[in-house]
Amino acid sequence: MIKGFSKLSKSKKIDWIIERYFNGNDDAKLVLQQYWNTNEKLQQLHDEFIENTITNYYLPYGVAPNFLINGINYTIPMVIEESSVVAAASKAAKFWLDRGGFKAEVLSTTKVGQVHFTYSGNSETLFDSFESIKSIIISDAKPITKNMEARGGGILDIQLKDKTVLMANYYQLHCTFETLDAMGANFINSCLEQFAKTLKREVGCSLDGDLNITMSILSNYVPECIVRASVTCKVEDLNEDPNITAEDFATKFVQAVKIAEVEPYRAVTHNKGIMNGIDAVILATGNDFRAIEAGAHAYAAKDGQYSSLTHASVEDGIFKFWIDIPLALGTVGGLTRLHPLVKFSLQLLGNPSAKDLMKVVAVAGLAQNFAALRSLTTTGIQQGHMKMHLMNILNQVEANDSEKSTLLDYFKDKTVSHSAVIQEINKLRN
Ligand code: MEV
């Protein structure tokens, strides 16, 4: 146990870690130090994002060009460690560029927050007095909501919900908000904490029962903050693979999506592939990927069974493929003005509104899923995946530039596997 760790200087924190976990070996210290930024201001910015920063953890920042979305051409920034993701996105973007591009529309933008509380008094009396309490709740929150209201957002509604069938004495204020270009977590949580104070005070003044606030917090489940992205083309225009007809490809593709719709084991992997694209853009644009993940998977289970986030159909010779996904995103606030690379990403995307960013992110997810299903239903995933992974294997065995170039060339038309690469590098080295 160490007391006061957060109060130690960065170098003292590192000394303690090296002593305690690395037998005092300074090589471990060098590993950390090599990632420090020589630009002290930038390093300080990163140090201050969180507590106890000892170094920076780099992830690759790539871009996928040629994304035509509602007639606008985007180059999408992606932050991700998985080798094949950016390549797959770029491939899908190019494929759909020649077929009219992606369409995207925001269907709704409502965010949610809740005040959870217990009340021991009569439920009917609570409901009877709620309308008048609600107007006081809203007026007490004015100092927090007035700027957001001036911009066209604010509180949409506050509903009292009786949850006593789930838990004794449990009620909630289920509150909805419009937060415009902000993700809105701070705005919503500040409103909710104020709502809770007013509720407790007003119920205390006018009703008999005991009211206790359990907690006030936004919900990351936002089934009314939905964006739809889609692609469509004639079946005959669909396939470029000489080994399978366009019709057979369309049939297999729709089957693959259907399997993810009806079978949870497959649905989870299918949606994981979608999140490869989504999370990469979320990270690049400084949004909260944990919130997006939690909300997306809850939405995928909204009908009682975990299912696919994408859907596909073939009707009258027309192939359609689309995603509906909840995305509570922000393009102001949070990291957006702080992190230089987040600012860069947003500029690269033309400084989008939150709604425009929702469209770009949904398209990235759809494109990723298209690329994955296209490989899975034709060549299999490993061909492309292992091609991209080849460089990782070569780096693992510390191949030099000439060995890399020889082996990249050698594996151009061969199946990559870990053992095959080791065998070839050993041959080269002997
Ligand atoms: C790998 O990161 C993602 C895939 O497994 C997605 C899928 O199976 O659809 C390829």
**Tens-digit pLDDT profile for residues 346-404:** 999 999 999 999 999 999 999 999 999 999 999 887 777 777 788 889 999 999 999 99
Counting from 1 in the atom list of ligand 1, the atom nearest the Cα of 375 is: 10
Give the model's pLDDT for residue 10: 97
Percent of the chain at pLDDT > 70 equals 100
* Centroid of ligand 1 to alpha carbon of 381 (angstroms): 8
Out of 1.10.760.10, 3.40.50.1820, 3.30.70.420, 3.40.250.10, which CATH number does the structure's domain 111-219 have? 3.30.70.420
Domain segments of the chain as ranges: 5-47, 61-108+223-379, 111-219, 385-429
pLDDT in tens, 32-91: 999 999 999 999 999 999 999 999 999 999 999 999 999 999 999 999 999 899 999 999
CB atoms within 10 A of CB 114: 19
**Ligand 1 near 372 CB (within 6 A):** yes
pTM (predicted TM-score): 0.92
**Ligand 1 near 235 CB (within 6 A):** no
* Centroid of ligand 1 to alpha carbon of 379 (angstroms): 14
pLDDT in tens, 79-129: 999 989 999 999 999 999 999 999 999 999 999 999 999 999 999 999 999
- Active site includes 288? yes
Q: State the Cα–Cα distance between residues 300 and 12, nearest whole angstrom.
A: 46
What's the rounded mean pLDDT across residues 18-29?
A: 96
Percent of the chain at pLDDT > 90 equals 91
Residues 6 or more apart in contact with residue 300 via CB below 8 angstroms:
267, 271, 306, 307, 308, 309
Give the model's pLDDT for residue 114: 98
CATH class, domain 61-108+223-379, is alpha beta
CB atoms within 10 A of CB 261: 17
Give the model's pLDDT for residue 395: 92
- Active site includes 272? yes
Q: Point out the least confidently predicted range of 162-176, 240-254, 356-370, 382-396.
A: 382-396
* Centroid of ligand 1 to alpha carbon of 233 (angstroms): 24
**Ligand 1 near 268 CB (within 6 A):** no
Residue 32 exposed, middle or buried by CB count within 10 Å (0-12, 13-18, 19+): middle
Q: Does the fold of domain 111-219 match that of domain 61-108+223-379? A: no
* Centroid of ligand 1 to alpha carbon of 367 (angstroms): 12
pLDDT, averaged across the chain:
96
**Residue 164: pLDDT band with limits 50, 70, 90:** very high
Among 272, 309, 378, residue to substitute to test ligand 1 (most atoms within 8 Å of Cβ)? 272
